[in-house]
Amino acid sequence: MQQTDVCIVGAGPGGVTAALHLANRGIPCTLVDKAFFPRDKVCGDALSGKVLNELRRIDDALPAQLAGSAVSLPAWGMQLTAPDGQPLRIPFRTGYDPGAEAAPGYVARRMDFDNLLVNEARRRPQITLLEGLTVKTFDFADGGWSLAGADGAPCVRARLLIVANGAQSAFSRKTAGLGLRPEHHCAGLRAYYRNVAGSSRENFIELHFLKPVLPGYFWIFPLPGGYANVGVGMLSSHVSRKRINLRAAMLDLIATHPALRDRFAAAERVGDIGGYGLPLGSRRHNLSGDHYLLVGDAAHLVDPFTGEGISNAMISGRWAAEQAALALGAGDFSARRLRGYDEAVYRRLGRELQLSYRMQQLLRFPWLFNAVARKAARNAAFADLLSCMFNDLDVRAQLKKPLFYLKLLLNA
């Protein structure tokens, strides 16, 4: 049995980020995952500028390593399609030059991106990586956690647990009390396709807010080698209330929707359609307790509007490592001591999650989305304002003000 001060359960981006930041401080930890890497993960595969910032905080060389890898594709912005079909291009950075600067975002399969991070963990002597270990039970006694595997035998004993084992985390649900709330949860499907026509040369990721999937969207994210990540996401409460077959809806859009059918006419699906659930960060709750911290999807920190979870997982992983170091220094792992983690995470992400939730709620008003898209198509300054919204929270906060929409409609 492994004896350790800090055990991290889950070697996705959040868990590995926590482990790497602990290693940078010279603090040993044990990192556990049920899979052997590389392993697949159902996800949209988009890596935002926030992800690049977190990679840089781990090691200045990591963003360049990702950029220089054949498994990633640079992405320079996003294209939104309004419910009435009006396209809206939003660069991640205004006035960009793809030939002269590093990209502000990338797209890479989770199998490849997660493996890049795990390989970084393998190089750190402070990190003990245990792959292929499914943790079945968590028992707390005598100031620490005992983890047992599938055979019931104890495998790890730790004073502090960092729980980063994803959206389906039994620990989050049973011990931390973060149950599934359909109004704060998204159902998603993802498939890989080859030869989807019509992607932009700058590899803009595409979000199509089409009427059959509102309040949600259909996406196309380009990948290296002529592939694309294609999927659909919708609030679980809406799926349940309307009794929607999400798989059938996705395939019907691809086959019949005027904006998509020609683009997929010669496309080929590669592999199965995978499903997953995303616990959205649209409400606040405790992220810590006695001798444990929740990270990433296990902490329900997924962006309510975009569905992005990778960057928020990495941000929370970094702060988990910071709090773990403080707790180790003080020899105090109580819930009161670890409360500083909640404060740090919500200080960094709370406003952003709140504003994204407001943007998600706007999807209930397709006519308003159409008005925004029409004005941006005619007004370059307004289009630049929308671009800034994805990087500047003060600008995004305009979405909370009714006067913003009144001015928009009067001048549309």
Tell me the pLDDT of the chain averaged across its residues: 90
Question: Start-end ranges of CATH 3.50.50.60 in the chain?
Answer: 2-75+104-180+283-358
Q: What is the pLDDT of residues 42-74, one digit of tens each?
A: 999 999 989 999 999 999 999 999 999 999 999
Confidence category of residue 389, pLDDT binned at 50, 70, 90 = low
CA distances 251 to 116, 182, 223, 227, 269, Å, are 32, 23, 20, 17, 11
Q: What is the pLDDT of residues 315-328, one digit of tens each?
A: 999 999 999 999 99
- Nearest by Cα to 205 from 280, 105, 111: 105
Cis (ω within 30 of 0) for the bond into 104? Answer: no
What's the token pair of residue 36? 């052997």
Is the model's pLDDT at 398 over the cut of 70? no
Confidence category of residue 392, pLDDT binned at 50, 70, 90 = low
Beta strands in 238-340 (DSSP E): 268-279, 288-289, 292-294
Put simply, whether the predicted model's pTM sits higher than 0.85 gets the answer yes
Q: What is the pLDDT of residues 210-268, one digit of tens each?
A: 988 888 899 999 999 999 999 999 999 999 999 999 999 999 999 999 999 999 999 99
- Residues 6 or more apart in contact with residue 288 via CB below 8 angstroms: 294, 323, 335, 338, 339, 341, 342
Is the model's pLDDT at 158 over the cut of 80? yes
Is the model's pLDDT at 120 over the cut of 90? yes
Q: What is the pLDDT of residues 303-314, one digit of tens each?
A: 998 889 999 999
Confidence category of residue 284, pLDDT binned at 50, 70, 90 = very high
CA distances 144 to 139, 141, 158, 321, 397, Å, are 8, 6, 6, 18, 43
Is the model's pLDDT at 387 over the cut of 70? no
Q: Find residue 249's DSSP bridge partners.
A: none
Q: Return the half-sphere exposure (C-beta side, CA atoms, 13 A cut-off) of residue 13.
A: 26
According to the model, what pLDDT value does residue 377 have?
77
Beta strands in 142-196 (DSSP E): 144-148, 154-163, 185-194
Burial class (CB in 10 A: 0-12, 13-18, 19+), 398: middle
Among 7-11, 91-95, 148-152, 290-294, the minimum mean pLDDT is found in 91-95
Question: Start-end ranges of CATH 3.30.9.10 in the chain?
Answer: 182-279
* Rounded Cα distance, 293 and 145, in Å: 12
- Nearest by Cα to 171 from 35, 274, 295, 282: 295
> Mean pLDDT, to the nearest integer, of 98-105?
82
Contact between residue 165 and residue 15 where contact means Cβ atoms under 8 Å apart: yes
- CATH number for the domain whose boundaries are 182-279: 3.30.9.10
First to last CA, the chain: 66
What's the token pair of residue 45? 């595969």
* Rounded Cα distance, 301 and 283, in Å: 9
Confidence category of residue 37, pLDDT binned at 50, 70, 90 = very high
> Mean pLDDT, to the nearest integer, of 190-217?
92
Q: Report the percent of the chain where pLDDT is more than 90.
A: 72
> Mean pLDDT, to the nearest integer, of 204-209?
93
> Mean pLDDT, to the nearest integer, of 111-139?
97
> Mean pLDDT, to the nearest integer, of 187-209?
94
> Mean pLDDT, to the nearest integer, of 164-178?
95
- Fold classification of 2-75+104-180+283-358 (topology level): FAD/NAD(P)-binding domain (3.50.50)
Residue with tokens 């649900």: 173
Confidence category of residue 393, pLDDT binned at 50, 70, 90 = low
According to the model, what pLDDT value does residue 134 have?
94
According to the model, what pLDDT value does residue 367 have?
84
* Rounded Cα distance, 332 and 236, in Å: 39
According to the model, what pLDDT value does residue 364 have?
82
Confidence category of residue 390, pLDDT binned at 50, 70, 90 = low
> Mean pLDDT, to the nearest integer, of 145-160?
93
Cis (ω within 30 of 0) for the bond into 83? Answer: no
According to the model, what pLDDT value does residue 372 have?
76
Sign of CA dihedral 176, 182, 186, 188: positive
